[in-house]
Amino acid sequence: MTQEAVQDNPMRSIRVGKVVVNIGLGKSGEAIERGKRVLQEVTGQKPSQRKAKKSIRDFGIHEGEPIGVVVTVRGKRTRELIEKLLTAREKKLADSCFDDRGSVSFGIKEHIEIPGTKYDPAVGILGMNVSILLERTGYSVARRARRTSRVGRSHLVNKEESLRYFRENFGVSTP
């Protein structure tokens, strides 16, 4: 989509819908608290716990036990968070990080690679998964409470458009 086409129809402009940062720890207790501390430092928001859906005896996981923490960031803070997270990846994302629905997902192996975070021996080093959802204006009709409606296929963000968006707005390169 060219810039002229977006100026003709503002409904075709692409924006960041949300950024979800997840740390899967696989155990509860002190590990959850360390994960919460890391996500609080990285995103500036209070993280929520995620519980195990079923018991896995070999891993020592019990149903209902908290095993991960997650934060969803929306609005104005998404841009600066994406900048920080992409800097940890050296602004390089593989082609496989982009899917056909406008989502971008990648992992960060060590949270200390993110600018502004320092190593704390009490916390250790944790990895995290990042998912970014791109959407167009008007996409909320599929999520609203009253009179939900389907979003047409031509209005969804595709892989090429999300690649172009990240190249133009964040300077991302694909190896």
Token pair belonging to 77: 């803070």
DSSP 138: T
Instruction: Please name each of the domains of the chain with its CATH number.
Output: 3-170 (3.30.1440.10)
> What pLDDT band is residue 2 in, cutting at 50, 70 and 90?
low
38 torsion bin: left (phi>0), alpha (psi -120 to 50), beta (else)? alpha
Q: Which residue has the higher pLDDT, 96 or 7?
A: 96
Q: Which residues lie closer than 8 Å to 87 by C-beta, 6 or more apart?
A: 114, 115
Amino acid at site 139? Y
pLDDT tens per residue across span 121-132: 888 899 999 999
pLDDT tens per residue across span 130-144: 999 999 988 888 888
- Please state the rounded mean pLDDT for residues 104-123: 91
pLDDT tens per residue across span 88-108: 999 999 999 999 988 999 999
Let me know: does 35 contact 21? Beta carbons within 8 Å. no
User: Model's pTM, two decimal places?
Assistant: 0.88
Up-side HSE of residue 46: CA atoms within 13 Å toward CB? 0
